[in-house]
């Protein structure tokens, strides 16, 4: 392409600029599923573009991949310069999924196979191809996450597929509309369709900021027990991190993981009602009735903060009999007990604490949660948590 120049240069430049703009406005570190909707819609739209204002295109697979890769690299330069972290995985997913869509569509389109397709049939064809492309992206994303973290591939893939129902489907539909609109109206359709996506991106930024503030507020509330001397420093954070890993191993969804994280952060907040603090905040060794009283008091405090009611339920029920608890409460209970026992057991305390949980009756700790905890710890370290 460098030697002979791109086919339909104006089209290549227009879609390249669209993808680059999408990457430039990408939300760095956003906790949303699609942080660059403009690029996510523009790149597959170029891969599935067969006509421009009624004239056939001939850009092919190689040019499609080259334009998207070059535009993505260009748009990522400021992101890397700001220290936004590595972008290799993001670029790999973008290029591979676009290549998949182009391979499925461009060779047949250039041969005129779809020349007689029109109306709903052609639109359904593009929708089907984009659905396959999105499925390919979900498999790739789950595989990359599995390779990086060691979490179960099946659970990660299910989470990616759940995400397809929401914003990913909307972005894919916009890509289809973009390809169809350019085929009829020409390149002028691109700026018209880009405005809603840019506004959506602005909404992402606000949503990410609100979510970050929400989490910081919960983390600050969770530290109240540490500041007051009821629990060791960092205890709530360690329980939350380990609970999240166990929840992912058990296949919890994104919304369930968020509730689990918030409940784990605030699981000890009921101790603020105690006149005399429990030594080292170790509630797992208290009588069951006292554990339930503290849990109920903690749930009442959580409800007063305006946090999701589901979080309060988990905090309230963390001391209930195992079979009556929701999954999140079972996880918090087991992880909290492990953290307390491992902290008090000294060197090698992690193995000792895990063995104690396994030997406990099923009414105390859920066996499946304990085994998930063991798998998570096996992928990391079984050293005892520090008191600091």
The whole-number mean pLDDT for each consecutive block of 10 residues of the chain, a chain of 388 residues, reads 78 90 69 68 89 86 92 83 68 89 89 79 87 87 81 79 74 85 88 83 76 81 81 86 88 84 88 76 77 85 82 87 86 88 70 80 79 84 43
Task: Please give the pLDDT value at position 195.
Answer: 85
Q: Are 43 and 19 in contact (CB under 8 A)?
A: yes
Q: Which residues contact 203 (CB under 8 A, 6 or more apart)?
A: none
Query: Which pLDDT value is given to residue 15?
Result: 92
Q: Which fold has domain 223-379?
A: Hypothetical protein af1432 (1.10.3210)
pLDDT of residue 227: 83
Which pLDDT score, from 0 to 100, does residue 358 have? 81
Q: How far apart are CA 133 and CA 137, in angstroms?
A: 6
What's residue 93's pLDDT?
Answer: 86
Portions of the chain given CATH number 1.10.3210.10: 223-379
Read off the pTM.
Answer: 0.71
pLDDT of amino acid 31:
47
366, 334 Cβ separation under 8 angstroms: yes
CB contact set of 77 (below 8 Å; sequence gap of 6+): none
CA distance 34 to 336: 33
Phi, psi of 52 (to 5 degrees): -130, 110
Which pLDDT score, from 0 to 100, does residue 166 have? 66
pLDDT of residue 64: 92
């Amino acid at each position: 392409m460098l030697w002979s120049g791109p086919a339909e240069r104006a089209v290549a430049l227009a879609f390249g600029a669209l993808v680059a703009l999408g990457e430039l406005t990408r939300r760095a570190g956003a906790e949303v599923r699609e942080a660059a909707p403009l690029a996510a819609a523009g790149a597959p739209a170029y891969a599935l573009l067969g006509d421009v204002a009624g004239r056939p295109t001939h850009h092919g697979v190689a040019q499609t991949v080259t334009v998207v890769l070059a535009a993505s690299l260009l748009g990522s330069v400021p992101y890397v310069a700001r220290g936004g972290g590595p972008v290799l995985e993001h670029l790999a997913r973008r290029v591979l999924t676009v290549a998949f869509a182009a391979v499925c569509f461009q060779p047949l389109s250039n041969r005129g196979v779809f020349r007689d397709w029109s109306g709903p049939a052609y639109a359904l064809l593009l929708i089907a191809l984009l659905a396959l492309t999105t499925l390919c992206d979900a498999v790739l994303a789950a595989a990359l996450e599995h390779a990086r973290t060691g979490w179960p591939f099946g659970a990660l893939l299910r989470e990616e597929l759940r995400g397809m129902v929401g914003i990913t489907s909307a972005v894919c539909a916009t890509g289809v509309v973009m390809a169809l609109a350019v085929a009829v109206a020409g390149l002028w359709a691109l700026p018209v369709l880009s405005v809603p996506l840019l506004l959506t991106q602005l909404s992402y930024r606000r949503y990410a900021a609100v979510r970050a503030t929400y989490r910081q507020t919960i983390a600050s509330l969770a530290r109240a027990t540490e500041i007051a001397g009821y629990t060791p420093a960092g205890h709530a954070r360690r329980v939350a991190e380990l609970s999240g890993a166990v929840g992912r191993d058990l296949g919890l969804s994104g919304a369930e993981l968020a509730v689990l994280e918030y409940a784990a952060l605030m699981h000890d907040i009921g101790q603020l009602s105690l006149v005399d603090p429990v030594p080292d905040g170790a509630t797992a060794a208290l009588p069951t009735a006292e554990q339930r009283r503290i849990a109920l008091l903690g749930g009442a405090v959580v409800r007063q903060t305006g946090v999701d009611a589901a979080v309060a339920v988990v905090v309230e029920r963390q001391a209930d009999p195992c079979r009556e608890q929701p999954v999140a409460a079972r996880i918090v209970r087991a992880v909290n007990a492990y953290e307390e026992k491992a902290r008090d057991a000294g060197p090698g305390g992690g193995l000792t604490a895990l063995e104690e949980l396994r030997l406990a009756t099923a009414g105390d700790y859920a066996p499946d949660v304990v085994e998930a905890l063991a798998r998570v710890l096996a992928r990391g370290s079984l050293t005892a948590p520090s008191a600091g």
